[in-house]
Amino acid sequence: MFAVMTALCLTLAAPALQQDEDPRVRRVATEVQHELLMLPYYGVFDNLAFTVEKGGTVRLLGQVRRATLKDDSERRVKKIPGVDTVVNEIEVLPVSPFDDETRLAVARAIYRTPSLERYGFQVNPSIHIIVKGGHVTLEGVVDNEADKTVAGLKAREIGTVFDVKNNLRVEKN
């Protein structure tokens, strides 16, 4: 089964697709990415990703804080021409004041660091912070390995963080 995986964390650029890929899959992937990025409540504490498979199936992945964001994602993607089936595997994170405090503390630590603050000035910040039960996952795209390392170190400095999984990708220019 052929699939295209696209993480939606930083850029509005078209998904990185292979040259020999089906143009229909490419078009659907670009439209899915656009629709998900335009969701009004999609933010720094959410992570959306998807796959587009030949045959018109779109699989939605990731984690969100609001159940409405999960539902809105599916509703928007279903309206895209060429999408026949949507499999919604987006996880809704549990409501937790502890996790909310941790999210804010990690965001402050990362986005107030001089070498990382530029990532926070975007409409959709490129470093997404997912917190579940005190466990932090960093998703998104950064410019270089040093930024990836610093972001992980800053997240680990927060006393309420149990562990950090650094899934940040380095953007290739």
**pLDDT per residue as tens, the chain (173 positions):** 444 444 443 333 334 444 447 888 999 999 999 999 999 999 999 999 999 988 899 999 999 999 999 999 999 999 999 999 999 999 999 999 999 999 999 999 999 999 999 998 888 889 999 999 999 999 999 999 999 999 999 999 999 999 999 999 998 76
Classified by CATH at the fold level, domain 97-170 comes out as: Histidine-containing Protein; Chain: A; (3.30.1340)
How much is the pLDDT for 122? 82
| DSSP code string of 30-80 | HHHHHHHHT-TT--TT-EEEEEEETTTEEEEEEEES-HHHHHHHHHHHHTS
Instruction: List own/partner pairs for 150-156 with CB under 8 A and 24 or more apart.
Output: 150/113, 150/115, 150/116, 151/110, 151/116, 151/127, 154/106, 154/109, 154/110, 154/113, 154/116, 155/106, 155/109, 155/110, 155/129
For the record, the structure tokens of 142 come out as 């950064």
Q: Cα(96)–Cα(130) distance, rounded to whole angstroms?
A: 13
User: For position 55, what pLDDT does the model report?
Assistant: 83
Q: Where are the domains of the chain?
A: 3-92, 97-170
CA distances from 158 to 22, 90, 108, 152 (A): 45, 27, 10, 11
pTM of the predicted model, to two decimals? Answer: 0.85
Residue that has been written with the tokens 């999210």 in this structure: 103
CA dist 43 and 114 (Å) reads: 21
pLDDT of residue 115: 95
133: region left, alpha or beta (phi > 0 left; psi from -120 to 50 alpha): left
